[in-house]
Amino acid sequence: MTSTTTADPSDFRCFCDYPTVDVAHATSGPLAGMDFAVKDLFDVAGYPTGCGHPNWPGLDAPSLATAAVVTTLLEAGAAFGGKAVTDEIAYSLNGRNAHYGTPVNPAAPDRVPGGSSSGPAVATAAGLVDFAIGTDTGGSVRVPASYCGLFGIRPTHGRLALDGCMPLAPSYDTVGWFARTGAQLEAVGDVLLANDPHPPAPYCLVLTTALDLVEVRTRATIAAALRRVTRHFRRVFSVPDILLVEEDWSLTFRISQGAEIWTAMGPWVEDRKPEFGPGVRERMQWARSLLPDDVAFHRERRETIRSQLRARIGPDTVFVLPTTPAAAPLLTTRDEDLEDFRNKLIALTCMAGIGGLPQVTMPLGTAPNGAPVGLSLIGAPGADRTLLALAAAIDAERQAESRH
């Protein structure tokens, strides 16, 4: 591991406690000299895959093959830096794990790191690796990136293969990744999305209904971040009529996601009867209880919302919105309060999920409490590299300004 810090990895509790196995990688390539962590949902040959739960079958024996996305990175010269912890079966946005503990948020040690890609985010933010691979279903890359002060991406749904990765809700699941700079995030995208076009997107739509979800004391921070971002576009428009705060949107996401989660996890739950921690336990029970008619209604509703969203965003247009409604909650926050905050989060994160749209989050602000907050760009399907180029340009400008 070519870590960029002298810190002890155990200080951050972000890596899985597995015996070390050599994982070969190319000695040259576009990512040579960089190392990366892998969320413990992905198979890596010689390592078990625990998915955040001690009763997961993947712990019974080491994997025989390596997930496709991990193989691509190894072939590009990146070195494997370890498997990183995840929330239980990735069904959380907080970063707490009742079985393995909570990784330490390097940007705000008194606050949760966000999940479910908690370990990969923390390893990257702590400088233990150059970048990390996670998954994003309901916000599991975007949320910890915002909480830990990182760049992160949820690609267009279906763009990257999830072979060798635990399925959660397949119609929402995506590979995602973290980096500390926009250039690093783009460099990984150049490998994973190598053949994708990246035309400019000169038009920006600021989603004012999303801004209304931000806590009052953080709004000035988000406003300053918006000013930095919008000057990179030729024309900027305020859009008050995309009702992402409408209850139907987040409810539609949660029900359609929950039904898929029970389909994926039900056989394991019935067979092994695993114990779940707070939050995950209640969500799994709720997913199990969903009625077929409700699921069918919200699946149809999802297609309606997706059509509406895609009609509003073209290849030359980018939506801008806050990544989260506030900085990360304190570690002392009660479980029931975290659940309330999770529902507010989903009102923001469900948009890209329902639309199958790519989203990049950027660490462009600090809340009054000193913790980071993110601002996001959402693009049309297939506009992943356009968003990555924008994020890299915005970050380069910010770094140049800080040097003067």
Q: What is the pLDDT of residues 362-395, one digit of tens each?
A: 999 999 999 999 999 999 999 999 999 999 999 9
Q: What is the pLDDT of residues 162-180, one digit of tens each?
A: 999 999 999 999 999 999 9
pLDDT of 339: 82
Q: What is the pLDDT of residues 33-73, one digit of tens each?
A: 999 999 999 999 999 999 999 999 999 999 999 999 999 99
- pLDDT(245) > 60: no
- Split at pLDDT 50, 70, 90, the class of 238 is very high
As a dihedral over the C-alpha atoms of residue 358, residue 390, residue 78, residue 193, rounded to 10 degrees, the angle is 50
| Residue 331 and residue 110 in contact, taking contact as beta carbons nearer than 8 Å | yes
Cα–Cα dist 167/141, whole Å: 16
pLDDT of 70: 98
pLDDT of 3: 46
pLDDT of 5: 61
Strand partners, 38: 83, 133
Q: What is the mean pLDDT of the chain?
A: 94
- pLDDT(220) > 80: yes
Count CB atoms within 10 A of the CB of residue 167: 16
pLDDT of 286: 97
Catalytic sites, residue numbers: 39, 116, 140
pLDDT of 8: 78
Distances (CA, A) of 8 to 32, 38, 46, 256, 305: 24, 18, 24, 41, 46
pLDDT of 6: 60
- Split at pLDDT 50, 70, 90, the class of 121 is very high
- Split at pLDDT 50, 70, 90, the class of 10 is confident
